[in-house]
């Protein structure tokens, strides 16, 4: 489906509904391209009036970026301490919950403690507002892991923060690009740790969560293909026994529950089979096994969807891009796709309180 077809479909969905979802848009690291891609996306999507953006970020930085881009967006600064009912203002303006502190430290393209602390504060406030029912979903611009660590927040990324703050022991990452999807059993860790941590229960839980998520996305009986870990899925133990001892038992347990899953398949061909329509998604064993093929096909247009949480969260498929942050020429396609996905998930009646 092309971007114009997606937008036309979305417009029809939105016009057929009475409620207007509120999306909490987090700015990410102010020194990165988050503000730019967010504002560009809002400018491109401005004809869509049946949803409400609410930005969590630094108002002064956003205004500077808006002026640099020459965008005619009406941003409304709101104090988080006094911001209550904003529905009327949201009809014509884009409210910004101003969480900026020491905005004079803004240095586009710089990895800093200030940038990490700002991104962490924006995200945590957006989570709180969504848990309180003041927003229907969260759409995040990128933060930087090194900047987070400089600020004293030692998290591998958004997903781990979301899991901890919402009180869930695990959250999963699904990357979606057009008709291709992949969910990772493990996330940001070394290959050594992947081998140490992979277990039948971990893989089985991932298959379960994936099945539940796809059903909420509208798939009646999701078909899940599970990737092997080793070359040629181990070749019956010749190149490793993880497929036989760890992955296969998890697949069999899921089958006994009625989940339509199969594998383990050779990692070098499973995405070709997925692209041909054999599966609705792939469960991959580790981060790059999933992201390399999807980013090759759709980098800059893919969406990161977090599974296993009591709220909806989507995100862009790229990082802070500090090397381009001061040029103001970044593509907002992934942010636009993330907004579209969040609205689609809201429309599928995925309500707060049910783990997505």
pLDDT of residue 83: 62
- pLDDT of amino acid 85: 58
Mean pLDDT of the chain: 88
Question: Residue 257 class from Cβ within 10 Å (0-12 exposed, 13-18 middle, 19+ buried)?
Answer: exposed
Give the pLDDT mean for 327-348. 92
Per-residue pLDDT for 68 more than 90?
yes
pLDDT value at position 240? 84
In this prediction the pTM is 0.87
Burial class (CB in 10 A: 0-12, 13-18, 19+), 316: buried
Looking at per-residue pLDDT, the higher value among 354 and 352 belongs to: 354
Which stretch, 179-193, 255-269, 296-310, has highest mean pLDDT? Answer: 255-269
The three-state secondary structure class of 261 is strand
pLDDT exceeds 60 at position 292: yes
Categorize the per-residue pLDDT at 351 as very low, low, confident or very high, splitting at 50, 70 and 90: very low
Beta bridge partners of 172: 307
- The yes-or-no verdict on residue 33 having pLDDT over 70 is yes
CA distance linking residue 41 with residue 263, whole number of Å: 39
If you average pLDDT over residues 321-326, what whole number do you get?
Answer: 92
- As a whole number of angstroms, the distance between CA 98 and CA 257 comes to 48
Statement: residue 15 has pLDDT above 80: no
CA–CA distance, 52 with 276 (Å, rounded to integer):
37
d(CA 185, CA 195): 12
Tens-digit pLDDT profile for residues 240-280: 889 899 999 999 999 999 999 999 999 999 999 999 999 99
- The pLDDT of 185-189, averaged and rounded, is 91
For strand 313-315 and strand 303-307, is the pairing parallel, antiparallel, or unpaired? antiparallel
User: Is residue 201 pLDDT above 70, yes or no?
Assistant: yes
Average pLDDT over residues 160-164: 92
Q: DSSP code of 266?
A: P
CA-CA-CA-CA dihedral for 103, 105, 111, 112, to nearest 10: -100
Q: How far is CA 177 from the centre of its chain?
A: 12
pLDDT for residue 91: 64
> Residue 349: pLDDT above 70?
no
Per-residue pLDDT, averaged over 211-240, amounts to: 90
Smallest Cα–Cα separation from 173: which of 273, 82, 295? 295
Average confidence (pLDDT) over 93-106: 91
The answer on pLDDT for 4 being more than 90 is no
pLDDT band at 218 (very low <50, low <70, confident <90, very high): confident
Distance CA 66, CA 37 (A): 11
What domains does the chain contain, in order, with CATH numbers? 1-172+301-356 (3.40.718.10), 179-298 (3.40.718.10)
Enter the tokens of residue 73.
Answer: 């967006």
Token digits of residue 79: 């104090």
CA distance 119 to 11: 31
Cα(154)–Cα(139) distance, integer angstroms? 22
Mapped onto helix, strand or coil, the DSSP state of residue 140 is: strand
Distances (CA, A) of 140 to 119, 165, 319: 10, 15, 11
- Has residue 187 got a pLDDT over 70? yes
- Residue 205 CA to residue 185 CA, distance in Å, equals 9
pLDDT above 70 for 179: yes
Q: Tell me, what's the pLDDT at 44?
A: 92
């Amino acid at each position: 489906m092309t971007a114009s077809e997606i937008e036309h479909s979305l417009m029809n969905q939105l016009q057929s509904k009475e409620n207007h979802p509120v999306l909490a848009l987090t700015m990410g690291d102010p020194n990165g391209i988050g503000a730019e891609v967010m504002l560009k996306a809002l400018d491109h999507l401005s004809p869509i009036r049946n949803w409400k953006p609410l930005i969590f970020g630094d108002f002064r930085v956003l205004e500077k970026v808006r002026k640099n881009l020459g965008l005619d967006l009406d941003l409304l600064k709101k104090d988080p301490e006094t911001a209550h009912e904003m529905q009327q203002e949201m009809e014509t303006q884009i409210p910004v919950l101003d969480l900026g502190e020491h905005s004079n430290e803004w240095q586009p393209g710089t990895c800093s403690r200030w940038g990490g602390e700002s991104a962490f504060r924006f995200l945590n406030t957006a989570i709180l507002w969504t848990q309180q029912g003041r927003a229907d979903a969260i759409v995040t611009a990128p933060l930087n892991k090194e900047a987070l660590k400089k600020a004293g927040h030692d998290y591998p990324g958004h997903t781990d923060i979301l899991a901890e703050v919402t009180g869930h022991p695990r959250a999963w990452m699904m990357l979606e690009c057009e008709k291709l999807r992949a969910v990772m059993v493990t996330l940001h860790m070394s290959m050594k740790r992947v081998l140490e941590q992979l277990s039948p229960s971990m893989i089985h839980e991932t298959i379960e969560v994936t099945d539940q998520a796809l059903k909420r996305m509208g798939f009646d009986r999701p078909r899940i293909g599970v990737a092997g870990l080793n070359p040629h899925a181990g070749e019956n133990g010749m190149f490793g026994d993880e497929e036989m001892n760890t992955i296969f038992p998890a697949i069999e347990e899921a089958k006994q529950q009625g989940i339509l899953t199969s594998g383990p398949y050779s990692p070098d061909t499973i995405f070709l089979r997925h692209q041909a329509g054999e599966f609705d998604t792939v469960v991959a064993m580790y981060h790059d096994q999933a992201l390399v093929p999807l980013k090759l096909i759709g980098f800059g247009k893919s969406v990161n969807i977090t599974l296993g949480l009591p709220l909806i969260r989507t995100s862009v498929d790229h990082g802070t891009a500090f090397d381009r942050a001061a040029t103001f020429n970044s593509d907002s396609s992934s942010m636009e796709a993330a907004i579209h996905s969040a609205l689609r998930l809201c429309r599928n009646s995925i309500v707060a309180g049910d783990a997505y």
